[in-house]
Structure 1
Amino acid sequence: MLYGYGMFYDPTFLFVIIGMVISMGASAYVKSTFHKYDQIKSKNQVTGTQAAEYILQSQRIHNVGVQGIAGDLTDNYNSQTKMLSLSQATAQSISVAAIGVAAHECGHAVQDAVGYAPLKIRASLVPVANIGSSLSIPLILIGALISGSSGAFLVNLGLLAFSMAFLFQIVTLPVEFNASKRALQILSEGGLLTKEEVPMARRVLFAAALTYVAAAVATLLQLVRLIILFGNNNRRNN
């Protein structure tokens, strides 16, 4: 009875299940939404790559490169290398969905160019979040096996490390929503999409943003679960 709930029965595992359901639902929704609007070809017949290059030029961003990468919906912008990477489903497609996704990544490049504060904060949190994700569970488990204040310290350190990963996801939310807002404004003003097509791109980007919300909720649920389980263990050790 390590956690006080019995060796084989842990009611807090419900948090994990809920988090998984939310994440899987968000992932399925973004894939189905992208697929739906990926079937609708833009009237201007521009590819995702051409749209990205046009947007960067129109925003006077000349130090960012555009490249294609393998995978499906693996699009990203790297502020360190100044490289905008578009997945196969985006780079050569002329669909409304592809142009919307390409514009979203350009939105991150614009954030970088103007010094958008949340983007800078997120970049600074990357190493901390990576370390926290890797070390949090081992620290908690080792601490749970050690009695006394040393064990409690390791557990608390592990919980703090896990909290850093959650903080990173919270900071990511305004970054992603703002990038989509910038993208839709550029698409509306730049004429890459028609007035009828812009709302379609908005639905694609909204669906994509939900995956970040789902990830944050799932991580929060896991954090609460860890606090419930090992917080009780801490109190018994002290």
Structure 2
Amino acid sequence: MFPYFTMDYTIIFLIPAMLLAMYAQGKVRSTYNIYSRERVASGMSGAEVARMVLDRSGLPNVRIERVPGNLTDHYDPRTKVLRLSDEVYSKATIASAGVAAHEAGHAIQDQVSYGPLKLRGLMVPMASFGSRFAMLIVIVGLIFSIPTIMDVGILLFSLVVLFQLITLPVEFNASRRALAVLGDYQILNYDEVPKAKKVLDAAALTYVAAAFSAIMSLVRLLVLRNRRRD
């Protein structure tokens, strides 16, 4: 029965999501590569951009740390630490400025208790558990033809979908904050801000693709569940 789960017509629900994910990844790579080679007129590195945004936003207590990897940048609200990847941290490019300001935008969200950010933080344990065990539980329900077990797995996976949906306004809002401060603080000039927007828009598309993929996976599970019921 395991092949029945993986090799049936419901796989078509995942094809659009996979295509969008591939497009999003290609878009973010190509856009980032273009603007990671274009230096900013201000000469500010990503670390300097983040520090300025944080300090002017009343967040001098937020530390900035350098982490290895490519596009591993993130803000940790638990430790109040903003972590920037090697290239973003050290380089004075449009891409670095945009990414650094975006992550600083998350710190500002934390400061003002931005609702979706708080809700996403609360959902992390549940979404993590769901992403780890939901599909396994669904497969067990399919193998043994026990709809109730499938329902439990689907419910757990629904938490993953909800987490992905909540992530969208968090990321979009952080990008809006980033673009505003980049212009207001004259970190980027008039011609550079639209270029930073292209970088952040490309990055945002990856979150849209992740949410769409989760939704289509849930639709597939529901179709499989209903087909078993019939």
Common topology (TM > 0.5): yes
- The CA deviation at 1:93 is 0.7
In terms of Rg, which structure is larger?
Answer: 1
1:11–1:92: structure 2 CA closer, same or farther, 3 Å change rule? same
Matching residue within 46, 58, 61 for 1:60: 58
Which residue type is aligned with residue 17 of structure 1?
I
CA shift, 1:142, in A, is 1.3
Structure 2's unaligned 5+ residue stretches are: none
Report what 1:185 is aligned to.
180
- State the AA in 1 paired with 2:77: S
Aligned partners of 1:71, 1:178: CA distance in 2, in Å? 25
Partner of 1:228: 223
Q: Per-residue deviation at 1:219? A: 1.0
Distance 1:7 1:20, change over 3 A: closer
Q: Does structure 1 retain, via aligned residues, the 8 Å contact 2:5–2:139?
A: no
Equivalent of 1:98 in 71, 96, 100 = 96
CA-based RMSD: 1.6
Q: Do the aligned partners of 2:75 and 2:103 also contact (CA within 8 Å) in 1?
A: yes
CA separation in 2, counterparts of 1:89 and 1:8? 40
C-alpha distance in 1 between matches for 2:117 and 2:70: 24
The residue number in structure 2 matching 1:123 is 121
Amino acid at match of 1:142: V
The amino acid that maps onto 1:146 is F
SS at match of 2:9: coil
Distance 2:71 2:151 in 1: 37
| Alpha carbons of structure 1 residues 7 and 231: separation in structure 2 relative to 1, 3 Å | closer
- Residue equivalent to 1:146: 144
Partner of 2:167: 172
Query: In the superposition, relative to structure 1, how do residues 7 and 67 fare at CA in structure 2: closer, same or farther (>3 Å)?
Result: closer
Q: Residue in 2 aligned with 1:213? A: 208
- How far has the Cα of 1:6 moved from its partner? 6.0
Tell me, in whole angstroms, the C-alpha distance in 2 between the residues paired with 1:26 and 1:57: 33
Give the aligned residue type for 1:189. D
TM-score, structure 2 as length reference: 0.96
Scaled by the length of structure 1, what TM-score is found? 0.93
Paired letter, 1:34: Y
Deviation at 1:232, TM superposition (A): 1.5
The answer to whether structure 1 residue 46 and structure 2 residue 44 are counterparts is yes
Q: Structure 1: which 5+ residue stretches go unaligned? A: none
Which whole-Å CA distance do the structure 2 matches of 1:78 and 1:207 have between them?
22
Count of residue pairs brought into register by the alignment: 230
Query: What is the DSSP-based 3-state SS (H/G/I as helix, E as strand, rest coil) of the residue aligned with 2:8?
Result: coil
Q: Give the counterpart of 2:109 among 97, 105, 111.
A: 111
Q: Percent identity between the aligned chains?
A: 41
Distance in 1 of aligned mates of 2:227 and 2:57: 54
